[in-house]
Amino acid sequence: MTGNAPTTEQVSSLLDDRDLVVVSNREPYSHEYEDGEVTVSRPAGGLTSALDPVMQSVGGTWIAWGSGDADHAVTDEDGRVGVPPESPAYTLRRVPLSDERVEGYYYGYSNQVLWPVCHLDTAKVNARDEFWQQYREANRAFADAVCGEAGDDPVVWFQDYHLALAPRFVKANRPDAFCMQFWHIPWPSRDVFRACPQYERLLEGLLGNDLVGVHTDAYCRNFLDCAAALPGATVDRATRSVVYDGHRTFVRPFPLGVDAEHHRDLARSDAASRFWREFGDRHGLADVAVALGVERLDYTKGIPERLAALERLWETRPAWRGELTYVQKASVSRGEIPAYQRLQERVRSEVERINDRFATDDWQPVVYVEDHLPQTGLAALYREADLCLVSALRDGMNLVAKEFIASQVQDPGVLVLSELTGASEELGEEALTIHPRDTHGFADAIERGLRLPSDDRGRRMCELQRQVHASDVYAWLDAQFRTVRAIRRGRQRATPPRGR
């Protein structure tokens, strides 16, 4: 946590001293058995790493699926455990879900219906009836946990697409709760959203919230367009709100950021330097330019497209052979879903093929890492990279781009950024913008980034850093809680005094 983090008092004041309950599918810490011992791990992914520092500063309760095999061995009889384990700052309440429920709700509806639809890949949608049933039941289980945990007048903050139905379930039981939700992935246009067979039910669920947050203005407009087509809903574009079933939901863009100071400090740490010395030696990176990619193995991230651009570069501009090494840090993700399995195999085999094609006795074109890296190891890669390649085919925001920028504490590197990311709206001017499917243009941009004069790199990075520090995760939090306060105050003013 860093100096920008709000104090507990600041947040409590914005929330008028109401309890905060965060609800997400993924938990910030999971407990696993390893050789009979219980170990703690932090799942990869933007959501949990963005919100954990916030919760550490604010306190409260975080409700999430207990997905670790030792999770329920370390909780109390109500499923609660204090985290972070080394110095507990808030309560994690774990929701147990059966294998069948996880199969249908998480691997099924969330990640084979909502994920591809929101990322405009409707050909991947696999909408089985039982997925929807399990999604409903899991949303009920989360809603029941909220009702059990929340004190009077709570602020309940749902995260993401796994929990579209829970807000209405909670509101029905607890009308005193202020429900808000942040949708971390893109919100698509109405035509695309209708690829979800239950699109109207999903909207009804979300309109149980008092506030819905998305990353960008464009997603906000898309949401309002979808809501306008829901029978019984009235959209007011001036106030960006929707009235449905007698209840008003405000919709607002809040671009998510990272804990920029924390990333900068990690990049400056001795541990990062030690990691780099060892990693750089092992892979012969001392005398080459380094390009970096960091992501979960997800078909939305454009990894094969990036490898194609690199291959084009080494093929058509052989001077870069032996001069540029690409480091891909990849994390296996959602591995039970066939589309993800295919992607994993494709990435691994493409890496092997490209390495076979170009490697020499003393140079390997692609260094591919699936092993877990410590935070300082990742910070070292960000710090030392000359280029960071972000080539998502669609991405709600993309926090890797922002982590890279925050970690540039030495000779400034260059961000090559897909125009199809939410981050491109904020960072597109000073990054080198690419279309991930334009292999030729992408290869050109890589070369241009490698040749950019140092004053140009420095100027661009300075502006990007200003942006990433000004719009960090705490600014994101602050903007949302200020909006909560404004909505609540507006409602209080609009409520006629009792008895008149």
Residues within the interface to ligand F6P (CB under 6 A): 26, 45-47, 160, 184-185, 333-334, 396
Closer residue to ligand F6P, CB minimum distance, 47 or 308: 47
Smallest distance from the beta carbon of 190 to ligand F6P, in angstroms? 21
Strand partners, 37: 34
Closer residue to ligand F6P, CB minimum distance, 26 or 460: 26
Q: Rounded to whole angstroms, what are the CA distances from 24 to 28, 93, 95, 300?
A: 9, 11, 10, 21
Q: What is the dihedral of CA 25, 468, 304, 450, to 10 degrees?
A: -160
Q: Report the alpha-carbon distance of residue 399 to residue 47 in Å, rounded.
A: 9
Closer residue to ligand F6P, CB minimum distance, 294 or 452: 294
Strand partners, 250: 211, 241
Q: For residue 80, how many other CB atoms are within 10 A of its CB?
A: 15
CB 212 within 8 Å of CB 178: no
Closer residue to ligand F6P, CB minimum distance, 19 or 403: 403
Closer residue to ligand F6P, CB minimum distance, 253 or 412: 253
Picking from 155, 159, 157, 158, the residue whose alpha carbon sits closest to that of residue 178 is 155
Backbone phi and psi for residue 302, each to the nearest 5 degrees, phi listed first: 70, 35
Backbone phi and psi for residue 274, each to the nearest 5 degrees, phi listed first: -65, -45
Smallest distance from the beta carbon of 333 to ligand F6P, in angstroms? 5
Position of minimal CB gap to ligand F6P:
45
Cis peptide before 188 (omega within 30 of 0): no
Give 126's DSSP letter. -
Q: Rounded to whole angstroms, what are the CA distances from 233 to 170, 179, 193?
A: 20, 18, 17
Smallest distance from the beta carbon of 458 to ligand F6P, in angstroms? 31
96 residue type, one letter: P
Smallest distance from the beta carbon of 457 to ligand F6P, in angstroms? 29
Report the phi/psi class of residue 322: left, alpha or beta, with left for phi > 0 and alpha for psi in -120 to 50: left
Q: Report the alpha-carbon distance of residue 406 to residue 158 in Å, rounded.
A: 27
Closer residue to ligand F6P, CB minimum distance, 136 or 334: 334
Q: Is 186 helix (H, G, I), strand (E, B) or coil?
A: coil
Closer residue to ligand F6P, CB minimum distance, 112 or 325: 112
Smallest distance from the beta carbon of 111 to ligand F6P, in angstroms? 6
Q: Could you tell me what percentage of the chain is helix, strand and coil, using 3-state DSSP and rounding each to the nearest 5?
A: 50, 20, 35
Closer residue to ligand F6P, CB minimum distance, 257 or 396: 396
Closer residue to ligand F6P, CB minimum distance, 160 or 472: 160
Q: Do β-strands 247-253 and 241-244 pair in parallel, antiparallel, or remain unpaired?
A: antiparallel
Closer residue to ligand F6P, CB minimum distance, 145 or 452: 145
Closer residue to ligand F6P, CB minimum distance, 253 or 413: 253
CB 439 within 8 Å of CB 445: no
Q: Report the alpha-carbon distance of residue 432 to residue 405 in Å, rounded.
A: 13
Picking from 14, 10, 4, 25, the residue whose alpha carbon sits closest to that of residue 480 is 14
Give 152's DSSP letter. S
Closer residue to ligand F6P, CB minimum distance, 288 or 294: 294
Give 68's DSSP letter. S
Closer residue to ligand F6P, CB minimum distance, 334 or 383: 334
Tokens of 245: 């079933």
Which DSSP string corresponds to 338-391?
HHHHHHHHHHHHHHHHHHHHH-BTTB-SEEEE-S---HHHHHHHHHH-SEEEE-
Smallest distance from the beta carbon of 160 to ligand F6P, in angstroms? 5
CB 19 within 8 Å of CB 156: no
Q: Report the alpha-carbon distance of residue 102 to residue 266 in Å, rounded.
A: 35
Smallest distance from the beta carbon of 152 to ligand F6P, in angstroms? 30
Smallest distance from the beta carbon of 296 to ligand F6P, in angstroms? 6
Smallest distance from the beta carbon of 177 to ligand F6P, in angstroms? 23
